[in-house]
Chains A and B, each alone.
Chain A
Amino acid sequence: MILVVVEQREGKLNRASWEAIAGGQQLAAKAGGESVKIAVLGGDVGPVAAEVAGAAVTEVLTVSNAALEPYTADGYVQALVQVLGLHSASFVVFAHTYQARDFVPKLAARLERALVADVVGLTEAEGRPAFTRLVFQGKMAADVLPEGDRPYLITLQSGAIAADTVRRGATPAPVTPVNVVVDGSAIRQRPEAPFREAKQAVDLSQAVRIVAVGRGIKAQDKLPLAEELAKLLGAELGASRPICDSGWLPLERQVGSSGQTVAPKLYLALGISGAIQHAVGMKGSKTIVAINKDADAPIFEIADYGIVGDLFEVVPALIKELKS
């Protein structure tokens, strides 16, 4: 059995969970037609369970406990250890969300089981399912085999498997409550309510065109060059993480897994290598242009047009061309 653990907060399903369900179904087919079950944890998880019961799975397990809302790593690990004790799985699949990153390694360590995280593709090696991860900042891919006793824990990177490939069932899957005992006194984290910083002035997700800068811009006083190009193209200015880390641009300009997800008509990446954390935030752009000195930069793997060259030579030439 393959168990997909979906994610919800305050009764709302995280959309990435549909990708995890699709991934679980594909993995089941690869693993020789295993059954797929879904588990959902939290306070009142009934509505979310009903929603995911539409997928072609054999059962939806609900783990409702007041101690599981809001989410804490200590609470989730306690509960899932019990669920996996009652329902023996060969693989446990999660979406690679910030929540999964927070507790799944702890769960794997508690269970003494393998965790292959941040998976971007399913493959096969030595006659069994293997998992593709990007390593070395996206410059290399690795096919990885989990080892040791099962279950193996897998987290799927956002966008690795399309949510719309989920197979739907003819009738809703049965929903079964699972009783777990969660010792609230053993939960050490005390979370406060999530919040957003002061209202964001720029909503990059709505931008039609984006000119984004990365490490290649080298210095803050070089930013006006990118700003001028953006202005000529009618584009918003975006950035990769290091630019915002350095304080050169505000965090609200950041594109990537820890910033905004964007899908403009045109995404022009200046001096951005294209590491996975950035790529997941922008690869849905319609047309991607990469300008980078390094011909091996991963950004060229997702770009439609590329110029291998020094942005301090290419961007002025572009500005001149657009002005003429």
Chain B
Amino acid sequence: MKIAVCIKQVPARDSQPRLNEAHTWIREDGAAFEMNEPDAYALEEALRLKERHGGEVVVCSAGPGRVSQVLREALARGADRAIHVESDELVAADAFNVAGTLADAMRSESFDLVLTGLQSDDQGFAQTGVVLAERLGMPHATIIMEVQVEAAALRVKRELEGGWFQWMSMPLPAVLTIQSGINQLRYATLKGIMAAKKKEIRKVAAPAVLTSRQRVVNLYVPQKTKQAQVLGGTPAEAAKELVKRLRDEARVIE
């Protein structure tokens, strides 16, 4: 089975983004980036499917030059090769442009299965996988917790709201967006890191002109809906004050 995994490089979860001067995006200088976590689960699922069914895992990403770092990391974890649609214009692209450029780069590969994380940690569109399915003419299913491959068909477990689930079948080729926690992630071994250096990252140029369907006009730190009373002092002092407030002011403990 020939499996593609779409991976996005996003600002590190534990970093605080800083605004650019125009307040339309974040400042890239000094920012730390990492593999989008839901995509890491999609990669892991692809590697497990390959272990069971054979085939090839190809990681695909659309973004600026720095993106090759997460592609190399995916290769170190066990992916066979990579496709990088490289363009600085894709830094803050909308889901249509990301999915559109990825679809153009992936079409001739005739993948049997395409996996993505269910959403990204930066813009959080949760659209790229579904739009990609439409562009590639494939059926899709979202927020997947389990994948079973049966000949030319898939049976997948979807997560619904409020603790409900659903099994769904569809023919291959297909696109799935993967929920975090579907499996336990593996990390790259030293051997994998060495092997990754020899693996191919095919560079593909993005279209010269991208037409966006949405534009950020103002990026800002959200306004607080409540004014939290921040209790200071040593941990012991703060703890004492909190217990007092919860008893006497909020009256939520005895």
Contacts and interface: CB of A to CB of B under 8 A. Distances in A.
A125 B217 contact: yes
A276 B123 CA distance: 12
B252 A147 contact: no
B83 to A, nearest CB: 21
A13 interface: no
Interface string B113-132: 00000000111111100110
Nearest to B239: A317
A98 B130 contact: no
Contacts of B143: 98, 101-102, 258
Interface in B119-161: 121-127, 130-131, 133-135, 139-143, 159-161
A317 B243 CA distance: 10
B180 A140 contact: no
Contact of A97 (B161, B165, B180, B211): B161
Contacts of A317: 234-236, 238-240
Contacts of B167: 191-192
Interface stretch (A55-63, A83-91, A166-174, A237-245): A237-245
Given A188-B170, A307-B242, A139 B218 contact: no
A289 B139 contact: no
Most chain-A Cβ atoms within 10 A of its Cβ — which of B212, B231, B240, B245?
B231
A301 B171 CA distance: 45
B162 A261 contact: yes
Interface residues of B, number: 79
A196 interface: yes
Given A265-B252, A317-B239, A146 B214 contact: yes
Interface stretch (A28-36, A37-45, A175-183, A308-316): A308-316
Contacts of A195: 164-166
Most chain-A Cβ atoms within 10 A of its Cβ — which of B141, B217, B220, B222?
B222
B11 A136 contact: yes
Interface string A105-116: 110111001111
12 contacts: A98-B143, A98-B160, A105-B127, A108-B131, A109-B96, A130-B217, A139-B221, A258-B179, A294-B14, A309-B238, A314-B238, A321-B239
Interface of A: 73-74, 97-98, 101-103, 105-106, 108-110, 113-118, 125-126, 130, 133-148, 188-197, 200, 209, 233-234, 241-242, 244-247, 251-252, 257-261, 265-266, 273, 276, 286-290, 294, 296, 298, 300-310, 313-314, 316-318, 320-322
